[in-house]
Amino acid sequence: MKTNYLLPNKYKLLGWPLFIFGLIGGIFISVSNFETTGPSIKVLSIYSESFIDSKNHFFKVIENEILDEIIAVFIIIGGLIVGFSKEKVEDEFIYKLRKDSLVWAIIFNYVILLFTILFIYDLAFFDVLVYNMFTPLIFFIIRFNFLKRKANSHDE
Amino acid sequence: MTNNIKVQRAIHNMTQADLAEKISVSRQTINAMEKNKYVPSTVLALKISKLFKVLVEDLFILEEND
């Protein structure tokens, strides 16, 4: 099966640790109510809004605590690598499983988001938005690995 | 659609893994096809029928609801 967007299989060795560390870090800062923030460094902000005077700033260097950024990058890059690296034997059936999982993940994610839009309000909804940045990818990876395992288990 | 892959495999005395290797797909793909859970692409169907030296029509059979 020729596909032009899949990474070689060996990238999974890099993707899984990144993804797992990212998820553990993500759970950790969620539990600590986003109060663990890591080191503070100067970063380039293309667009920012000041808390004090609500003024918009463009292309300004600001100070930012970067633990949450690091964790988000780990989850996204790790997740993309895990989800979009070739299997040991990459063929059309695996390709179909991957596509089906993607469709499933998008629909499932938006059904849950719809539910939270209707039933979760105030600051709690901010948490929903944070998690929703990662859930499509996470649902996709879980579903894909579940389908692969299922295809593996019913033997001759 | 149904198929005779399992029968042909038995005739040629091949395991799922043997067949998978010969046509360079995973064993799960063979398994899914034999269980009628996966309809292979034309390319794969042709590869299998070529390997077993039978017509595609004799290997894959349309059903009424197709």
Interface predicted TM-score of the whole assembly (ipTM), two decimals:
0.89
Strand A40-49 to strand A56-65: parallel, antiparallel, or no bridges (unpaired)?
Answer: antiparallel
Q: How far is A26 from chain B (nearest CA, A)?
A: 34
Between chains, do B26 and A89 touch, taking CB under 8 Å as contact? yes
Between chains, do B31 and A156 touch, taking CB under 8 Å as contact? yes
Spatial CA neighbour of A75 closest among A28, A8, A125 = A28
Spatial CA neighbour of A78 closest among A136, A18, A133, A24 = A18
Please tell me the pTM assigned to this model.
0.89
User: pLDDT digits over A64-122, tens only?
Assistant: 888 999 999 999 999 999 999 999 989 999 999 999 999 999 999 999 999 999 999 99
pLDDT of residue A154: 60
Q: How far is A15 from chain B (nearest CA, A)?
A: 22
Chain B residues touching residue A150 (CB < 8 angstroms): none
Q: How far is A16 from chain B (nearest CA, A)?
A: 22
User: pLDDT digits over B3-48, tens only?
Assistant: 999 999 999 999 999 999 999 999 999 999 999 999 999 999 999 9
First to last CA, chain B: 7
CB-CB: which of A89, A93, A156 is closest to B32? A93
Between chains, do B44 and A92 touch, taking CB under 8 Å as contact? yes
User: pLDDT digits over A10-20, tens only?
Assistant: 999 999 999 99
Between chains, do A89 and B20 touch, taking CB under 8 Å as contact? yes
* CATH classification code of B2-53: 1.10.260.40
Q: List the domain boundaries for chain A.
A: 1-87, 91-156
pLDDT of residue A1: 56
Strand B60-61 to strand A56-65: parallel, antiparallel, or no bridges (unpaired)?
Answer: unpaired
A7/B60 Cα distance (integer angstroms): 33
pLDDT of residue A142: 97
Chain B residues touching residue A89 (CB < 8 angstroms): 20, 24-26
Which helix (H) or strand (E) element contains residue A80?
A: helix A67-83
Between chains, do B31 and A94 touch, taking CB under 8 Å as contact? no
Q: How far is B64 from chain A (nearest CA, A)?
A: 24
